[in-house]
């Protein structure tokens, strides 16, 4: 049966996502996904320079000057990139005399990775293994309840 939206009179409002839901064909809601931390992290890693900075900091903490020396952009531009990364929680900085040393923080990436993982469906094999695990659990539970019934019937006899 082909999918069709509810019929509207001419000049009436257009069909909303909620009405499509009520019609029974759509599995999503007309509500925005709001994950401020994920949005900020995704925005921060959207820039190639910031991703390269994160890769540099993965290996060792670096000062702002050491980071700037590795790029062909101005120091103020590197400083702006570091500010964005710090606001997203991806780097932390400590004062070491007159210089600031930046360190990678991976915790915010975990929430983004979790959200991204929720978008993927289990692979065919993963789905089959999950189904097998469910079936094994169900069979085990049925055997235990059958054994419990047999035990109680012997005790009453």
For the stretch 34-79, pLDDT in tens is: 677 889 999 999 999 999 999 999 999 999 999 999 999 999 999 9
For the stretch 84-130, pLDDT in tens is: 999 999 999 999 999 999 999 999 999 889 888 888 776 677 778 88
* Domain shared by 44 and 21, yes or no: no
Q: How far apart are CA 37 and CA 57, in angstroms?
A: 21
Whose structure tokens read 């590197």? 78
Structure tokens at 108: 């915010």
* Domain shared by 27 and 43, yes or no: no
Is 118 among the domain residues?
A: no
Query: Residue 22 is part of which domain span?
Result: 1-31
Structure tokens at 156: 């009453």
* Domain shared by 82 and 43, yes or no: yes
Over range 138-153, report the average pLDDT: 82
Total number of domains in the chain: 3
pLDDT at 150: 72
The torsion angles phi and psi of 105, rounded to 5 degrees, stand at: -120, 120
For residue 11, is pLDDT > 90? no
Is 51 among the domain residues?
A: yes
* Number of neighbouring beta carbons within 10 Å of residue 93: 17
Cβ proximity of 112 and 38 under 8 Å: yes
């Amino acid at each position: 049966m082909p999918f069709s939206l509810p019929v509207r009179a001419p000049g009436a409002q257009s069909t909303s996502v909620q009405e499509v839901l009520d019609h029974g064909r759509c599995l999503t809601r007309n509500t925005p996904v709001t994950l401020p931390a994920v949005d900020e992290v995704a925005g921060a890693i959207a820039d190639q320079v910031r991703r390269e900075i994160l890769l540099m900091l993965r290996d060792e903490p670096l000062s702002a000057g050491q980071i700037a020396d590795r790029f062909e952009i101005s120091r103020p531009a590197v400083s702006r990139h570091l500010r964005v990364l710090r606001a997203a929680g991806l780097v932390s900085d400590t004062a070491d005399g007159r210089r600031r040393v930046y360190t990678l923080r991976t915790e915010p990436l975990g929430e983004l990775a979790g959200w991204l993982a929720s978008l993927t469906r289990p692979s065919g094999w993963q789905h089959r293994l999950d189904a097998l695990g469910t079936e094994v659990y169900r069979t085990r539970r049925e055997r235990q309840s059958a054994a419990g019934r047999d035990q109680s019937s012997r005790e009453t006899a």
